[in-house]
Amino acid sequence: MIEDPILLWSVVGVASGIILGLAGTGGGVIAIPILMAFGGYDIKEASGYGLLALTVGAALSWFIQRKNTLYPIAAILIFFAGTVAFLAAPLKTLSPHWLVNVLLNLTCVFAIYSLWVLRKLEDHGENRPLPYQIKTSSIGGMITGFLSTMTGLGGGVVIIPWLTGITRLRFDQAIACSLLTIAVTAPISAWRQNKFDLAMGEWISLAVGILVASLFVKKLITRISPPHLVLVRKLSLTGVIFLSMMRTLSALF
């Protein structure tokens, strides 16, 4: 147990930053087991507070990749994800801990499947009509809002395959739109769950930890060749997902 809250959020920030630097995502999935193991939070509390790490990490990642953002699509995603996140918060409050745990782990299983099977970096997408893109992205936004509220994960593990496979955006466009959506809607979900109450020192510790660790890791991995880097990212994120599943499932049984 880490009793000092500033130290706890520094650990969450550094761990999230390392995964962010390696994989470009994953803040929520590493924050949840850390908050459970070292902060003493239960699954519902940890998944709520994990949204804060997700918010900071997604915002930093989006800023780096913002040139790939399709803002009309992102606006649709944000509207529907934010609306569902706002409405679903009371549902999470009423849900038993085991249901939140099961949803989180099912999302983790799909994340691994998405990471190794569904994500096609070489997919150049298609220029589908705008009404089709709006319709499909609105559905994806609702899925993102629901998952981020119920599990503390960003929903990117679902929305990126959705945007590339259904809406038919390019992979880099899907990532940028997903990150911006998560950066805007995750704090809405955290606020609705009364989990946006960190002190200024805790916010600073979280943000600095993520920023410093992610930049340091990004500097290190520049020495890795692109083909090997893809494998390193997949393996690192898969390992973190398994770690999260082991910790959360141990609370279930």
125: left (phi over 0), alpha (psi -120 to 50) or beta: left
* Residue partners of 62: CB distance under 8 A and separation at least 6: 69, 176, 179, 180, 183
Give the model confidence (pLDDT) of 22-52 as tens digits: 877 767 889 999 999 999 999 999 999 999 9
As for how many domains the chain has, the answer is 1
pLDDT score, position 40: 92
Strand, coil or helix: 133: helix
Give the model confidence (pLDDT) of 165-208 as tens digits: 899 998 888 888 999 999 999 999 999 999 999 999 999 999 99
28: containing domain = 5-252
Q: What is the pTM of this model?
A: 0.89
pLDDT score, position 100: 94
Give the model confidence (pLDDT) of 56-111 as tens digits: 989 988 998 899 999 999 999 999 999 999 999 999 999 999 999 999 999 999 88
Is the model's pLDDT at 130 over the cut of 80? yes
Q: Which of 135-139, 183-187, 227-231, 240-244 has the lowest mean pLDDT?
A: 227-231
- Structure tokens, 228: 């090997």
In whole numbers, what is the pLDDT of the chain averaged over residues?
89
Backbone angles phi, psi at 33, to 5 degrees: -65, -30
Whole-angstrom Cα distance, residue 227 to residue 112? Answer: 19
Helices (H), the chain: 5-23, 27-39, 43-65, 71-94, 97-113, 130-151, 156-165, 171-192, 200-220, 226-252
pLDDT score, position 38: 94
